[in-house]
Amino acid sequence: MNQKAHCVKCLLQEIDEEEYLSKLKRVILMMKASERASDEETNRRLLICKQCDYLERGTCLACGCYVELRSAMRHGKCPYKKWTLNK
C-alpha cells in the first residue's frame, strides 16, 4: 500500500493531490443522504463557483472552504450568497 500519512498539520503541498481528491470524494459519499445536496444541485452550484473570481484550485478564497465539499452539503451556502439551496 502506497499511502502517505495524513495529519492535521500537513500543508496541501505535502499531500498527494490524487489521494486528497479521493479522500474528499469519500467524505462526500459518506454524508447521510439527508445532508447531501442532489448531484444536479451540486453541479449547479459548482458551475457558479467556476465563474467566480474567488475560486482558486478548488478553494473559495472568500471563506477558505473546498467548494466541492461545501456545494455537496444540502445546507451549504456561498459566503457571498451567489448560490444557496435551490428548493
* CA dist 31 → 35, 54, 79 (Å): 6, 26, 22
Q: How far is CA 53 from the centre of its chain?
A: 16
Query: Which three three-digit cell numbers place residue 50?
Result: 467556476
Q: Which is nearer to ligand SF4, 21 or 62 (CB)?
A: 62
Q: Is 79 in the site for ligand SF4 (CB under 6 A)?
A: yes
Query: Which three three-digit cell numbers place residue 57?
Result: 484550485
Q: Is 66 in the site for ligand SF4 (CB under 6 A)?
A: no
Task: Name the one range near ligand SF4 by CB under 6 A: 5-13, 16-24, 32-40, 77-85.
Answer: 77-85
Q: Which is nearer to ligand SF4, 31 or 52 (CB)?
A: 52
